[in-house]
Amino acid sequence: MIKAGIIGLGIGKKHLDAIENYRNSKVVCALEKDRKKIISLKKKYKHIDFYNDEKSFFSRNDVNLISIASYDEFHYSQILKSIKKKWHIIVEKPICLSPAELKKIYYLVKKNKIKITTNLVLRQNNLFLNLKKKINKKEIYYIEADYLWGRKEKLFNWRSKTKNYSLTLGATIHILDLVCWFLNSMPTKVYAKSSSKITKKTKFRKFSFSHYLFTFPKDIMVKLTANAVCTHPHFHTLKIFEKNKTLISDIFGQYLINKKNYKNKFNLKKMKYDYPDKKNRKKIIRDFIDSILDKKIIMPSFKSNIDVMTACFYADMSMKKNKELSIKYLK
């Protein structure tokens, strides 16, 4: 039976709802910094023990799954504490904030044989699941994807205070993971540039727009942008170019363009999928529970989570060095 603890009840509240009662799972405790939040949560979740201090939370001996949804800068130390307790781990993205931290987590997880996953939700989205079925990855030569965040105000909360906060680790990671999943491969090179033009005079001191050119095996080029400052609905746009067809998904709809219809823009084949498909967001967490309970369930491997983090770190390094870098993955 799964007995879970949750850290941080912002998006962590969604983790709670995904875990609670799924295949008899119970959330037994939660750690939350904000005392006011605890008071209101206690009214709704009477059976959960709420903690305000980390030491008491980590002294629980009845937990076997932890869901870490604290601010980015706490993920690393909370992962290490959870590994020590041999708890299985769901950690919000990003797993951590430096390559050295990533390396340590990777080797400790391997050594301790616990299960761990991160919440890269786009793979469970109805639209992207269906696009994946339509693509012929052998024919792809170019993919373009934009993470249009449309939530500029969120830059001025904890994200402004987090020393190593990175838009690449906070936003780009989602669309990069999606593209790697489509192509079933990892990029070999990256060149990235960033800008803080729109946020220069604000308290957000990091870059708020960035673009990336990734090279994938077999000469596939991928251009991504992370746009935290746009006046645009929160959206992930995508264009997938194959030799004989193009798939497009933007706020105006999803289209399949092929040799028969491409000369007449009024004749394009419109597709209709659920997006943002919020009902599927619990799926990664529930699949993870399945994988703990019955080992047969196939999840994205933790190595694929580690590799996408590595590619993001190289992208940020490329911005700093202003040059294209070859990406070396952990072994």
Ligand X SMILES: NC(=O)c1ccc[n+]([C@@H]2O[C@H](COP(=O)([O-])OP(=O)(O)OC[C@H]3O[C@@H](n4cnc5c(N)ncnc54)[C@H](O)[C@@H]3O)[C@@H](O)[C@H]2O)c1
3-state helix, strand, coil in the chain (%, to 5): 40, 25, 35
What is the closest distance, in whole angstroms, from the C-beta atom of residue 40 to ligand X in the complex? Answer: 11
Nearest 10 degrees: CA dihedral of 254, 257, 262, 267?
-50
What is the closest distance, in whole angstroms, from the C-beta atom of residue 280 to ligand X in the complex? Answer: 12
Decide if residue 37 touches ligand X (CB under 6 A). Answer: yes
Task: Identify the CA nearest to 303 among candidates 163, 180, 194.
Answer: 180
- Beta carbons of 305 and 172 less than 8 angstroms apart: no
113 φ, ψ (degrees, to nearest 5): 50, 40
Decide if residue 31 touches ligand X (CB under 6 A). Answer: yes
Among 11, 100, 251, 297, binds ligand X (CB under 6 A): 11
* Of residues 105-144, those binding ligand X (CB under 6 A): 119, 121
Decide if residue 7 touches ligand X (CB under 6 A). Answer: yes
- Report the DSSP beta bridge partners of residue 227: 148, 209
Decide if residue 158 touches ligand X (CB under 6 A). Answer: yes
Instruction: Annotate 292-321 with DSSP letters as a single string.
Output: HHHS------HHHHHHHHHHHHHHHHHHHH
* Of residues 41-100, those binding ligand X (CB under 6 A): 69-72, 74, 92-93
Counting residues that bind ligand X (by CB under 6 A) gives 22
What is the closest distance, in whole angstroms, from the C-beta atom of residue 117 to ligand X in the complex? Answer: 11
Decide if residue 8 touches ligand X (CB under 6 A). Answer: yes
Among 2, 32, 186, 285, binds ligand X (CB under 6 A): 32
Decide if residue 9 touches ligand X (CB under 6 A). Answer: yes
Residue 116 buriedness (CB in 10 A; 0-12 / 13-18 / 19+) = buried
- Beta carbons of 128 and 240 less than 8 angstroms apart: no
Closer to ligand X at the Cβ: 74 or 191?
74
Closer to ligand X at the Cβ: 68 or 257?
68
**In the complex, which residues of this chain contact ligand X (CB under 6 A)?**
7-11, 31-34, 37, 69-72, 74, 92-93, 119, 121, 157-158, 170
